[in-house]
Structures are given as C-alpha cells and as structure tokens.
C-alpha cells in the first residue's frame, strides 16, 4: 500500500469555512424538504403533486451529494473502525515504525476525510512522520496548515491541541524557526506544553528557566503521564549544566520509574539534550 499521501488529501479546510458550508447545506435541505412536504400534502398526494415534490426535493439531494453529505453518512457508519485505525497508527508511531505509521495515516486521510476535525489531526500526524523521517520542511508546512485552520481551537479538540502545539514547537525548533516556536508558546500559560517551553529555554541556553519549568511541570497535575519522562530528561540536562546535584537525582528517579520512550529518544529536536 502507498505510504505517501497526495497533496489533495493533505488539504485542510478552515473550521469557519466548514461550519459556514454546513449551515448553508442544512438551510437548503430544510427549504427543499419543507417545500416538498407542503406540495405533497396540499396536492393530496396526486401524481402531479408527487412529481412536483420530487422536482423540489431533487436539487436538495444533488446539493447534499455534491457537498459530501452521503460520504459523511457512510463515514459515520465506519467511525468505530476509523478510531481504531487512528489508535493503531499512533501505536506504530510510538514504537518507532515511522514508515508504517505514515502509511496508516495516509489511508486515514482518505477514509476520515468527511470529518474535517479528524482529518486535520491526521494531516498533522502525517507531518509528524515526515519530521521523524527527516523531511522537516514538509512537517513545518503541514503543522502551519493545521494551526491556521483553527480546528485545534475547537473545545472538543483540547487534548489534540496540547499535543499538536507541543509537536509544532519542536518541529519549528528543528527547522531553526525559534521565533515561530516562541510565538506559539506566547498564547499558552498552562503546563500542557511544558515540553515545548523547556525545549525553547534549552535552545536559548536559559538553563535556570528550563530547570524551573521542568520542576514545575513534574509537580503539576495537568501534565500527561506520558510527558513526564521527556520533561525529566530535559530537566536533567539543565540540572547538569547548572551543577544542581539534588535536582539531578530527582530527575533520575523519575526516569528510573518511567524510562524515556523511543519516540522521545529519537525526536530530532531533542536528541542533543538527551
């Protein structure tokens, strides 16, 4: 199976445009259906009235078909499988099978396309595989595309947003776009993007800031368990730079209890700090 997605599959519709399109389609379908019902009932379901109702309804059905309503309905029937395949793709990525994950995300770009929010996440994760396979330029392009679409700002995308923004910061750092990474950080004050904050501080050789953020993040309740080893490893680097033996021991204990995973060890933006 192909592991490379087409450019059309990697296009991301902006959230505002998608929502406006849905409202227009809903309004048109509502008008067509209402007109059809009225004509049918007023005509007493006579043959001529039924034909007229069909003529009124037909444009609505054509509009729905062209707008992808049928594809979306079909995708809904496969929603469970799409979610399972998404989890499987993420598992491949975490195991370091970047080519396998790339192929899985490429297939999801097609099957989950009717769900614009899901699609934006899959586009982003496809870009993450590019990042690990050495194509940082493509990773930057896709990260910006998804960030600009505003889908990550949707309330239901909060978890995806935290991960995607952290990944984006690391991608920008690897591409040498420090200011872009800092701009993305400027809108966040919580601990959910602590890995990105620490990485930026390390890139700027602000060892004290990196150490402080690592200690704060490990004590915070909103930091994902999966992020703790990476935070500890980066904090350990800063502690060694500052000669803080006590802090070194704390970070080493965290890493002993939860070793650094393959995905973190091979992260192109972090390897110099691990």
172-193 pLDDT tens trace: 999 999 999 999 988 776 667 8
135 and 223 together in one domain: no
Per-residue exposure over 48-73, b if at least 16 CB sit within 10 Å of its own CB, e if not:
ebeebbeebbeebeeebeebbbeeee
The verdict on 141 and 158 lying in the same domain is: yes
Examine residue 9 and state whether it is found in any structural domain, yes or no. no
Q: Are residues 165 and 178 in the same domain?
A: yes
The whole-model pTM stands at 0.81
265 with 274: CB under 8 angstroms?
yes
Indicate if 205 and 271 belong to the same structural domain: yes
91-119: per-residue pLDDT in tens? Answer: 999 999 999 999 999 999 988 887 888 88
Q: Domain count of the chain?
A: 3
Those residues of the chain that have pLDDT short of 70 are 1-2, 21-78, 189-191
- Cα–Cα distance for residue pair 267/66, rounded to 1 Å: 42
Could you tell me the residue range of the domain that residue 226 belongs to? 189-274
Say if 6 falls within a structural domain: no
Cα distances from 127 to residues 66, 87, 205, in angstroms, run 29, 16, 28
- Asked if residue 3 belongs to a domain, the reply is no
167 is a domain residue: yes
């Amino acid at each position: 199976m192909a592991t490379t997605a087409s450019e059309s599959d990697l296009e991301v519709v902006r959230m505002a445009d998608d929502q406006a399109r849905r409202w227009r389609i809903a309004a048109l379908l509502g008008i067509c259906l209402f007109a059809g019902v009225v004509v049918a009932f007023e005509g007493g379901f006579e043959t001529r009235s039924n034909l007229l109702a069909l003529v009124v309804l037909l444009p609505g059905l054509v509009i729905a078909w062209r707008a992808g309503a049928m594809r979306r309905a079909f995708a809904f029937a496969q929603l469970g499988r799409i979610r399972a395949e998404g989890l499987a793709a993420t598992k491949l990525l975490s195991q370091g099978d970047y080519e396998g994950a790339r192929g899985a995300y490429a297939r999801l770009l097609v099957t989950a396309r009717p769900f614009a929010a899901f699609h934006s996440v899959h586009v982003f994760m496809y870009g993450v595989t590019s990042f690990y396979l050495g194509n940082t330029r493509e990773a930057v392009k896709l990260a910006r595309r998804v960030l600009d679409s505003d889908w990550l700002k949707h309330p239901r995308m909060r978890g995806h947003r935290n991960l995607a923004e952290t990944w984006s910061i690391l991608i920008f750092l690897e591409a040498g776009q420090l200011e872009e990474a800092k701009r993305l950080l400027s809108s966040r004050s919580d601990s959910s993007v602590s890995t990105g904050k620490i990485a930026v501080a390390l890139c700027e050789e602000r060892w004290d800031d990196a150490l402080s953020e690592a200690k704060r993040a490990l004590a915070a309740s909103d930091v994902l368990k999966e992020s703790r080893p990476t935070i500890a490893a980066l904090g350990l680097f800063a502690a060694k730079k500052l000669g803080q033996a006590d802090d070194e021991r704390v970070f080493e204990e965290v890493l002993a209890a939860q070793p650094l995973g393959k995905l973190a060890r091979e992260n192109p933006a972090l390897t110099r700090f691990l």
